[in-house]
Amino acid sequence: EAQVTQNPRYLITVTGKKLTVTCSQNMNHEYMSWYRQDPGLGLRQIYYSMNVEVTDKGDVPEGYKVSRKEKRNFPLILESPSPNQTSLYFCASSSGLAAANTGELFFGEGSRLTVL
Amino acid sequence: DQQVKQNSPSLSVQEGRISILNCDYTNSMFDYFLWYKKYPAEGPTFLISISSIKDKNEDGRFTVFLNKSAKHLSLHIVPSQPGDSAVYFCAGATGANNLFFGTGTRLTVIP
């Protein structure tokens, strides 16, 4: 089954404690990205990757890091989480052609993060 | 600055009737417009899209209309079914790395 898998789905942590949210896709997609969803703000892009070892900032990259060492994985790293990073996070992927043209994305189920 | 706006946070419709979800945008460079549907505890799923060079795209019960002069698009669902109850996001795109989402409209279809 084609899917984007995120872990953990739910996490409560404390300010400053480094955490990583993993994302893996099994569709051999070149393009992967991370979004956060906040009330009244919709989905905002954090980082994206056009292919292995190619990453770039989205609209709200501050406080986040990413890496793309393998095609299937795109982890989101919060080096020193703060309460304003409490949010619902989505990983998404797309084939190269769709990524270049239509913007159609396949989303994971989301990771709800709470930073106390 | 919100490039894509969904001004109605919620909409309730009787089963069998038409649901119309609206979306306005400010960026005239968008090549595609997309609608995503989101159920609770799930990620958004792609529903339907339209190229900026078209004014209508239809897929079964779902039709998207684009009015470029008004910078407005709408999603029509006919007939509405209880399983359509979800949050609907519209988005404008110049490729996947330039995809801007609206804030969503929660549709409730009443049986």
* pLDDT, tens digit, 9 for 90 and up, residues A103-114: 788 999 999 999
pLDDT exceeds cutoff 80 at A102: no
The reported pLDDT for the residue numbered A42 is 86
Give Cβ neighbours of residue A59 (< 8 Å, ≥ 6 apart): A44, A45, A46
> What gap in Å lies between CA A34 and CA A64, rounded to an integer?
10
Q: Are A33 and A26 in contact (CB under 8 A)?
A: no
Q: How close does chain A come to B85, measured CA to CA in Å?
A: 18
Give Cβ neighbours of residue A40 (< 8 Å, ≥ 6 apart): B103
Q: Are A29 and A93 in contact (CB under 8 A)?
A: yes
The reported pLDDT for the residue numbered B91 is 93
Residue A100: pLDDT band (50, 70, 90) is low
Percentage of chain A beyond pLDDT 70 is 94
CB pairs under 8 A between A and B: 77
From A41, A92, A105, residue closest to B103, measured CB to CB: A41
Of A2-6, A81-85, B1-5, B91-95, the range with the highest mean pLDDT is A81-85
Q: Are A15 and A81 in contact (CB under 8 A)?
A: yes
Q: Stretch B18-30: mean pLDDT, rounded?
A: 95
The reported pLDDT for the residue numbered B96 is 59
The reported pLDDT for the residue numbered A71 is 96
The reply to whether B44 touches chain A by the CB within 8 Å rule is: yes
Buried b (16+ CB within 10 A) or exposed e, B16-46: eeebbbbbbbeeeebbbbbbbbbeeeebbeb
pLDDT exceeds cutoff 70 at A53: yes
Contact A102 B98 (CB under 8 A): no
pLDDT exceeds cutoff 80 at B98: no
The reported pLDDT for the residue numbered A101 is 66
User: Which is nearest to B72 in space by CA: B21, B19, B13?
Assistant: B21
pLDDT exceeds cutoff 70 at B97: no
